[in-house]
Amino acid sequence: MSAPARRAILILLVGLAMLAATLGALYLLRPGAPRLVEQVGPQIGGPFALTDHEGRRVTQASYPGRHLLVFFGFTHCPDVCPLALGEVSVALDALGPAAAKVQPLFVTVDPERDTPAALKDFVTAFDDRIVGLTGSAEEVEAAARAYRVYFKKVPVQGALGYTMDHSAFVYLIGPGGKLEAFFTHETKGDAMAQKIRGFVGS
């Protein structure tokens, strides 16, 4: 084979490889494709041992038969947590009676400031059905690890002293402990409710 012919074949092969890679990427990123976090779903969620906003010790087994709607955050959060809890509250209203099959949980990543009383004030301002959970630093860390939640203390100027960086997904966990769905803090409550209804029924 002549050198130009070999070069032409090489260029063709490289072109085909690039086309295959592009098609593959388009397939993985297509609308409605399961996202990475869904593919690793079974590993998200797990046992926890915490204290609820009434001071009772609770675990993942404290809400038998219910789907857990779990969000990690902190009461001094300026925007993301209030936004997320606001949408959770809208979702609960949209679910109507089916909301009884859902237990929304707000787990603090700032147990230093978020006492049960502080949590109660915060979550019930959004919805009486949301339960705030706190614990020792170790207990909170273990729960966050089970849900693959990232959080970090960040010093700030002023009276607050510090804020918390944290990932902000809302997880729907089935009664069997399996991840069913997840939402971002920007998911609208109505869309959240629609998705939840697919798992809990009406």
The Cα–Cα gap between 196 and 199 comes to 5
Residues 157 and 162: their CA atoms lie apart, in Å, by: 8
Measure the CA–CA gap between 185 and 90, rounded to whole angstroms.
13
Q: For Cu ion, give the closer residue by CB, 79 or 159.
A: 79
- In the bound complex, which residue of the shown chain has the CB atom lying closest to Cu ion? 77
Q: How many residues bind Cu ion (CB under 5 A)?
A: 4
81 scored as a contact of Cu ion (CB under 5 A): yes
Binding mask 87-126 for Cu ion (x = CB under 5 A): ----------------------------------------
73 versus 116: smaller Cβ distance to Cu ion: 73
Which of residues 38 and 165 has its CB atom nearest to Cu ion in the complex? 165
| 77 belongs to the binding site for Cu ion (CB under 5 A) | yes
Contact 89, 71 (CB under 8 A): no
- Asked if residue 124 lies in contact with residue 23, where contact means CB atoms within 8 angstroms, the answer is no
Give the span between the Cα atoms of 20 and 81, in whole angstroms.
42
Closest distance to Cu ion from the beta carbon of 164 (Å): 7
Amino acid identity, residue 139? E
The radius of gyration of the chain's CA atoms, rounded to the nearest angstrom, is: 22
Cβ-based nearer residue to Cu ion, 131 or 170: 170
Among 41, 45, 73, 111, binds Cu ion (CB under 5 A): 73
Residue 146 neighbours by CB distance under 10 Å: 16
- Distance of closest approach, residue 90 Cβ to Cu ion, in angstroms: 18
Where do contacts with Cu ion occur on this chain (CB under 5 A)? 73, 77, 80-81
